Structure 1
């Protein structure tokens, strides 16, 4: 049974979501002290976190940042705020998805199931290590090592990179990426994919590897294998 941590201060909504998720055999936990979220997160050790933005003490962005400093666990924002900057901010902080309230419960379930399948099952049929452009990629530990150092990626970022490298020197369409990441592109915005890829490329820049992920305007993205492809 997967353990989900729902960081939501609306008691009525929390109980409703907990009840619905429990029907799908998820073990749902809540926060009892919103000044000690990280302590309770560490005690519960959830498999996925669902978090609101507007919370007592500190907002959801703060706690997302704090969780990311401890763990690469999947994070879904569930918020009534619909400004594009909120969505972009959540993605930049390392969230895996953003759902706006009010929401259809089937959409929430679909997103949770897709993320859990991707995060906890995708390594079972792949080799753990991969060499790409002189860098060693550890898919299990979400690490990329190069002469200039080592960086850690989120689950989304390592999965996007894996998909691109599997089809290196070929264009992977945005539709292919969205379908692979979220199972059904109707449940994810085009902007969210762009943010995830840009965040991945920015991290790769730390190892001088970002230039090997090309954007093909109007089509998708392509991972380049040979450095000689560039001027």
Structure 2
């Protein structure tokens, strides 16, 4: 945790787009344009199912933390995280489609939070502008990443000493989960364990609270 200067969201938005200036080409696994994601990501049925408040409360964020919300989408988790880390912390929503930026930043403004800094990442690297990330968070996202090992190795390089990566995703071994039976679009806790070990992280916490999802927290060695 560190005390960080506050920046206006307008300044942060411009700065972060410059840092991640190269536009994303193509799509990740199962990808589609931001406009097509909005309806499904913001549906009341989905929001009730994923239990946003509960998931965020289990992360254990502290005031002043720097959090990367990987594959933030419409910012469903971003705004709540920004409130959790407070004005001395920062939440960095990362997306490969800049179409999500106005959606997230509008949501942050409406919620009255000014500690959100959007980053346009790349397929194999989140392109974070700092290497003191306390927490990197994936929710229903890692299975969309095509080169998962490469991405996690790159992400680990942005973590502060003792930084953590949180992965919440659907378990490929549970019948009926999204993409069940599609080996390219499903993952397991065991697979994540292997990728994390290779990226220099060890399992720090495992929650068994959702029947169809695993919730894993890894810590940088």
Q: Give TM class, smaller chain.
A: 0.3 to 0.5
User: TM-score normalised to the size of structure 1?
Assistant: 0.34
Whose RCO is larger (CA < 8 A, sep 6+)? Answer: 2
User: TM-score normalised to the size of structure 2?
Assistant: 0.35
> Which of structures 1 and 2 has the bigger CA Rg?
1
| Higher helix fraction (1 or 2) | 1
